[in-house]
Structure 1
Amino acid sequence: MEPKRALALPHLLDRLSLIRRPRTGPLDGKELLKRSLTDFYRRPESRPSVSVDVVRPESTCGRSHAWMADSTPIDVFSPSTQAFENALSGLDTNGRLPFIVVGNDPEMVEECTEVARIYEDHATRLPIDVTVHRGLTREELSQVFQRRSAFVHYIGHCDVDGLRCVDGNLATGSIPESNAQTFFLNACGSFYEGRALIERGSVAGGVTFSKVLNEQAATVGTTFARLLLSGFSIDRAMQLARRQIMMGKNYAVVGDGTHVLGGRRDRHPGTIVADRTDGGRFAITYDVLPNWTAGSWYYPEGMGTDRPHLLGTTTESTLDLESFLRMLESIDAPVVYDGRFFWPEELATQLRSRG
């Protein structure tokens, strides 16, 4: 470890036993699938895009992985000492969480509208205030990041000169300070812009390594939004959201991926993994990862049991179709079925249509 990285150790003391020397393995060519369908990329081909060289860290038995070596990792988040220190300042907004949605391209208006709708729907149950901006200039976008907020969701383009605005590009490294606690830069090759936001004051955010397809970017963006509001950490939300698309490994997290919106650690959302058995029944696993909380417990939703389980453990059951459908109707947890990501209402509709 380089001496400068030792400054991160005080922030990792309660996870010290999980720290290992960085090791990488060969990168499978399929892991960063290249596509020739350029018409639908989020970045017009006339603009030079950013592309990041990545490595594949060797996995361990952990449930979540971070990489603090010099190289850029795939499949794990990239923390920094600066991100940990930024988290110490907290977010003083009188109990409200400001959410800002920025749509900086008219061709992406539907995605911007849908993301804003998801946030506004949750505003009836959570203490969040949603503001939507469209077509911002460089100065206006700079002011958005300098404003104190819980989350900034940028939808638009990015190239080597920075985030696209109506009057040019904004390089986030030129911003005096970033008071956006977390963010999602849903644009092609936004990795370096996201890392610059961490250096300017942010805690964590979602980024991309290279080009992303427009439709797939919209899918990841809207799913990521709902998962964050459900209480998932930035990294866990990204892990789940990117399962929906073929090019999911283009998405990553910079900063402290364990961070939860508003810094809350009392919410522990669950995930359901389901597979159909040879007998036509469904093998169900209910999984809850703790948000930096050890020794607490949860009650598995829809599993027909009132027995508590320790956080970090799973609950397993086998259900017939009707019982599984009733479970899907009673929960709001994401479901990984046959390796694919679903919201419970989506999977219930699909299963009913197949009989």
Structure 2
Amino acid sequence: MRDDIEDAVLRLDADGPRASASADAFTFPVESACRVRTDRVAFYQSFVLCVHEGGDLVETTAPDETVDLGPGTYEFQVTAAPMKLYLRAEGPLRVVDDGRRTELSFDGDRDVSVGARSFHIRPAGTVTVPETPRGLMRAVSTFGSALATTSPERSFPTLRGHPPLVAFGDEVAVPEFAEPPDTGVEVVVPDRWNDVYTVATLAYYLGATVVPGDEPAVCAAGRSYPLDADPLFESVQRLLEHAFLLDCVVRTEGFYDVDLHERAAVERRVDIDPERLYDLPLDERLAAYFDVPVDPLSDLVGWHLTADVEPTPESAELLPFVVNDMASVRDPSTVDHGDSAAGDDSIESFFRAGSDADGGAGANERVVSPARTDTSGHVWVGDGYPTGASKPTVDAYRHRLDQRASDSAVIDVTVVCNEASMREETERLYGFRDHLEFDIDVELDRSTDELRALLAEEHDLFHFVGHVDPEGMKCPDGHLDLHTLESTGAKAFFLNACSSYDQGMQLVRAGAIGGLVTTSDVGNIMATNVGRTMARLLDYGFDLHGVLDVAKRVHVVGGSYSVVGDAGVTLCQANSGTPTALVVNTHDQPAPDVVEFDHAVYTTRNFGVGSLLADWFEEDGTQYVVGGVTPHHRVSREQFEEVSEGRRYPLLVDLELRWSDELDFDSL
């Protein structure tokens, strides 16, 4: 199966004649469908299947499990696939999962319908409002129009559409598609730029109208929930996480009656009636959530992304993209910078030097050191070059939306090494994935003209190893300054060279979506080690946010590496759907025959906050919410090795990145 919008591929093995099929036959919405006559359907990886019959969830399969289903018409939702995928078939049938692949087998040939829809989400258009805080309130009030539902199921990322874009003008122009939903929920804030920005994601998720008022609050069904204004972003984020978590619990009363870890945890701590809450309209359900204590549940959610948004009119253009990623928005001027990312002398020297050189950072640019955050992703929306955070641009987001799907299922990676002493980095960087085809081209010592020609070609990833000077990217015959580049076919890039930040920004300007860059000089040894780490994480399926976060965990890189453009770009889909690393501390293991570990779970655009995660080590089929906090695990060494056999996944062992297929398990 291929999603030409998101350029995602899923291999499905089914021998037999094929024909088109009606998408209307499926309970869940699909965009296209086909039918195959076969006695078996197999996936070349392990998937949890949600089995529905007559609209009811009757079974949820688990890894290393066999399930027999009797006569009847069944619809299977394939979770953790890189697209929304459904199978429809008549029983009796058997589902076999051996931990490495999932297969449906029949006692004879059956007609199996396969339906799919893309995860692709793009804004439906633009709303125009006056350039005032109240104008921005009007725009943010339209963001909820992109929700596909106001039921608790909107906690699934596929049911949250992209908010409309925002433009400023003399007159209000709100197209019919962007009219705010009638949820009865209001968010009250003073008419100040910073306050309106801060509540944008909350208003979007609640489908709320934003209105001016002296005291910040959320109003629903005759109830008022006060928001602490000092600082506002903390109370806003607490309510967002609270409502999101409870929606994830309550939605198990609908189509997705899964054995959810978070539901069991919530019901142990507070008094809640999910069955009653599920059928309430959004405003009444939210008002009921006001009565559920926040503190006992606060450790069950671990948010994924923080956006520091400078409260200026210029930030409004980026706001819909930030909100679409469900970022926690904060005004950087209200954050305690006592633990801010260190802007060391070498980084600041780099930027100061850039302002004096042709093609440098620019005389008016400044270095900013945003306060640290607990989230794995961190973006800076505003002027200046951030250290320790990513710098998104409107161009990068628009390039992603406008990206033309490739006709090839092959992942194209080009590695250019223009430094002989760094060639070790080019060895075995990509192509570790089974059932994914990589076309890896390694180019050595390319001239300026040759490098320009390579950048003009289409690449899923362009990886440069070498040096960057104020004049540009170093080549044997001089320098290529990417300010002179008119366009590029590279979707994502990694410029592993000293002080490559500004050159990376020029690649985004020329048409790339996003990439990894350096903000200071980096030594060859560090660059090589970090480069190999980042490349293998991209190969596994992490987005740039996740790559940077893991690299900071295992390498002492400080603020030397950053992301420019859209940090949500990925090279391929993780086998587990959601990229996950196991965190193991060998110095704190309880016994030789036991392994204790935690999960570090990272979101991607295809598997955003609210997705379901199946844990390989759970034998009872328990699932977790992506965005929740997975519990500490303790399993036997035998089970750990059995589950890991045949899988390739990353482990952070004593803060060192290891891979399961290369690991000596005795070392744990």
Which residue is equivalent to 1:312?
627
Which residue is equivalent to 1:94?
407
SS in 1 for 2:386: coil
| Cα distance change of structure 1 residues 265 and 172 upon mapping to structure 2, 3 Å threshold | farther
SS in 2 for 1:86: helix
Tell me, yes or no, if structure 1 residue 183 matches structure 2 residue 493: yes
Sequence identity (%)? 27
d(CA) in 2 for partners of 1:272, 1:29: 26
SS in 1 for 2:413: strand
* Cα-Cα RMSD: 3.1
Tell me which amino acid in the other structure corresponds to 1:295.
G
| Cα distance change of structure 1 residues 245 and 297 upon mapping to structure 2, 3 Å threshold | same
Which residue is equivalent to 1:74?
387
d(CA) in 2 for partners of 1:137, 1:239: 33
SS in 1 for 2:461: strand
Q: 2:420 aligns with which of 78, 97, 106?
A: 106
Which residue is equivalent to 1:339?
655
**Contact kept in structure 2, 1:275 and 1:282, CA below 8 Å:** no
| Cα distance change of structure 1 residues 183 and 339 upon mapping to structure 2, 3 Å threshold | same
Tell me, yes or no, if structure 1 residue 243 matches structure 2 residue 553: yes
**Contact kept in structure 1, 2:396 and 2:511, CA below 8 Å:** yes
| Cα distance change of structure 1 residues 109 and 64 upon mapping to structure 2, 3 Å threshold | closer
| Cα distance change of structure 1 residues 17 and 89 upon mapping to structure 2, 3 Å threshold | closer
d(CA) in 1 for partners of 2:536, 2:387: 23
Which residue is equivalent to 2:509?
199
- Match runs of 1:295-310 below 5 Å: 295-310=610-625
Structure number with greater CO (CA < 8 Å, separation at least 6) is 1
d(CA) in 1 for partners of 2:327, 2:560: 30
Unaligned runs of 5+ in 2: 1-310, 347-359
Which segment drifts farther, 277-286 or 208-217?
A: 277-286
Shift of 1:146: 1.5
**Contact kept in structure 1, 2:380 and 2:390, CA below 8 Å:** yes
d(CA) in 1 for partners of 2:402, 2:575: 16
SS in 1 for 2:443: strand
| Cα distance change of structure 1 residues 154 and 305 upon mapping to structure 2, 3 Å threshold | farther
**Contact kept in structure 2, 1:75 and 1:249, CA below 8 Å:** yes
d(CA) in 2 for partners of 1:17, 1:248: 23
Tell me which amino acid in the other structure corresponds to 1:165.
C
In terms of fraction of residues, the more strand-rich structure is 2
Which residue is equivalent to 2:330?
20
Q: 1:133 aligns with which of 439, 443, 447?
A: 443
Which segment drifts farther, 324-333 or 25-34?
A: 25-34
| Cα distance change of structure 1 residues 273 and 65 upon mapping to structure 2, 3 Å threshold | same
Shift of 1:330: 5.2
SS in 1 for 2:495: strand
SS in 2 for 1:152: strand
Residues 289-341 of structure 1 deviation map (CA, whole Å, 9 limit, x = unaligned): 33233432121234545322122222431235555455554542222233333
d(CA) in 2 for partners of 1:146, 1:104: 18
Residues 188-228 of structure 1 deviation map (CA, whole Å, 9 limit, x = unaligned): 11011111111111111001111112122111111211111
d(CA) in 1 for partners of 2:484, 2:394: 20
d(CA) in 2 for partners of 1:154, 1:335: 26
Tell me, yes or no, if structure 1 residue 283 matches structure 2 residue 596: yes
Q: 1:220 aligns with which of 522, 530, 534?
A: 530
Unaligned runs of 5+ in 1: 35-49
Shift of 1:85: 0.9
**Contact kept in structure 2, 1:188 and 1:211, CA below 8 Å:** yes
SS in 1 for 2:492: strand
Which segment drifts farther, 135-144 or 317-326?
A: 317-326
**Larger Rg belongs to:** 2
| Cα distance change of structure 1 residues 224 and 278 upon mapping to structure 2, 3 Å threshold | closer
Tell me which amino acid in the other structure corresponds to 1:69.
G
In terms of fraction of residues, the more helix-rich structure is 1
Q: Say how many residue pairs are matched.
A: 333
d(CA) in 2 for partners of 1:118, 1:59: 30
Tell me, yes or no, if structure 1 residue 119 matches structure 2 residue 435: no
| Cα distance change of structure 1 residues 302 and 214 upon mapping to structure 2, 3 Å threshold | farther
SS in 2 for 1:279: coil
Which residue is equivalent to 1:7?
317
**Contact kept in structure 2, 1:145 and 1:179, CA below 8 Å:** yes
**Contact kept in structure 1, 2:431 and 2:437, CA below 8 Å:** no
**Contact kept in structure 1, 2:466 and 2:497, CA below 8 Å:** yes
